[in-house]
Amino acid sequence: MIVPFTKMQGIGNDFVVVDAISQALYLNQGQISQLAHRNFGIGFDQLLLIEAPQHPEADFHFRIFNADGSEAGHCGNGARAVAKYVRQKGLTWKRELRLSTNTATMNTVLEDNGLITINMGKPRLEPEKIPLRFAEASDAYAIEVDGIRHKVGAVSMGNPHCVLTVDNIATAPVQELGPKLSQHSYFPAQANVGFMQIVNPEEIKLRVFERGVGETLACGTGACAAVVVGRLQNLLKEKVKVGLPGGSLWIRWEGKGHQVYMTGPAKVVFEGQIDI
């Protein structure tokens, strides 16, 4: 079957986007991981399948699959890509959209400067909603890895995140500690692991070891999770610039009970088709 796709990226987090409305597409985990392969396939961090809305107030639904073929509940950089894709493909003329994923619904606004602002919803802090195997919600948890106790924050943005603070992002143990925290038994659904350096209360640097992928150049929900954790730990103000290896995102969170807002770019790289 010939499947047209659009390759896109959001500050270096890269996607294959497929309109699964006009052409239903069913891929198993092995096929997805093959397509994700940087040598044997197209190569991507996530596959985004755009589907018809599942409820009347949404304009589009999209599903997210990591490079290992696992399905995820949310993707912040991917949401910006979807918002840009549906307009560029003429699937809508609207500049303000309501998108849904398996775990979240969000409003998106295409700004005059070409950036996209997304209301990412309220962070979920209750352990059972992250999910995290702790009884009580806390602004910080102690998780032991190889005999060392790490102070981490944990939050769901519709997908699970674990965030720890480091002095210098350049020397953060992303490859050593990232997978061990991501697959720690305290995270029954695994977790995306953010390493956050506080530059000042309005700016951080962040690297993210993503569940189902490994370290990516950027993670949108990870940027939101890091700002939420930083604010809960009284390290950050309401508006924060998040510097990731692939570029910057602007996150705003007033605090508990409020929505998180994310602003950033999304770009088309090329159009293609593949015989699956």
Annotated binding-site ranges for substrate: 13, 46, 66, 76-77, 159, 192, 210-211, 220-221
Q: How many CB atoms are located within 10 Å of the residue 57 CB?
A: 8
What is the DSSP-derived secondary structure letter of residue 207?
Answer: E
Residue from 210, 217, 229, 260 binding ligand API (CB under 6 A): 210
Per CB under 6 A, the list member of 9, 33, 46, 156 interacting with ligand API is: 46
- The minimum distance between CB 187 and ligand API, in angstroms, equals 11
Cα 212 from Cα 90, distance rounded (Å)? 31
Closest listed residue to residue 166, CA positions, set 176, 158, 109, 156: 176
As separate numbers, helices (DSSP H) first and strands (DSSP E) second, the chain gives 4, 18
Half-sphere exposure of 200 (CA within 13 A, CB side): 3
Decide if residue 165 touches ligand API (CB under 6 A): no
> Minimal distance in Å, beta carbon 61 to ligand API?
16
Q: Give the span between the Cα atoms of 93 and 80, in whole angstroms.
A: 16
Token pair for residue 189?
Answer: 């659904």
Pick the stretch among 23-31, 97-105, 132-140, 216-224 that binds ligand API (CB under 6 A).
216-224
**Interaction mask 63-102, ligand API, x per CB under 6 A:** -x-x-----x--xxxx------------------------
Q: Which residues are annotated as a binding site?
A: 13, 46, 66, 76-77, 159, 192, 210-211, 220-221
Residue 132 found at the interface with ligand API (CB under 6 A): no
Query: Does the N-terminal peptide bond of residue 131 adopt cis geometry, omega within 30 degrees of 0?
Result: yes
- Rounded to whole angstroms, the Cα distance separating 127 from 133 reads 7
Taking the complex as a whole, the smallest distance from the CB of residue 218 to ligand API amounts, in Å, to 7
Binding of ligand API by 13 (CB under 6 A)? yes
Question: Binding to ligand API by residue 220, rule CB under 6 A?
Answer: yes
Q: b/e string for 19-45 if b means 16 or more Cβ within 10 A?
A: bbeeeebebeeebbbebbeeeebbebb
Q: Is 224 a catalytic residue?
A: no
- Site membership for ligand API, residue 213 (CB under 6 A): yes
Q: Tell the smallest beta-carbon distance from residue 147 to ligand API (Å).
A: 28
What sign has the CA pseudo-torsion 67, 159, 127, 29?
negative
211 binding ligand API? (CB under 6 A)? yes
7 near ligand API, judged by CB under 6 A = no
* Catalytic residue of the set 49, 50, 219, 232: 219
256's enclosing H/E stretch is none
Q: Is 137 left (phi over 0), alpha (psi -120 to 50) or beta?
A: beta
Q: Which of residues 181-200 bind ligand API (CB under 6 A)?
A: 192
Number of residues binding to ligand API, judged by CB under 6 A: 20
Question: What is the rounded CA–CA span in Å between residue 276 and residue 4?
Answer: 10
Instruction: Report the C-alpha gap between 11 and 256 in whole angstroms.
Output: 28
Active site residue 219: yes
- Provide the binding-site residues for ligand API, judged by CB under 6 A: 13, 45-46, 64, 66, 72, 75-78, 159, 192, 210-213, 219-222
Which residues belong to the active site?
75, 219
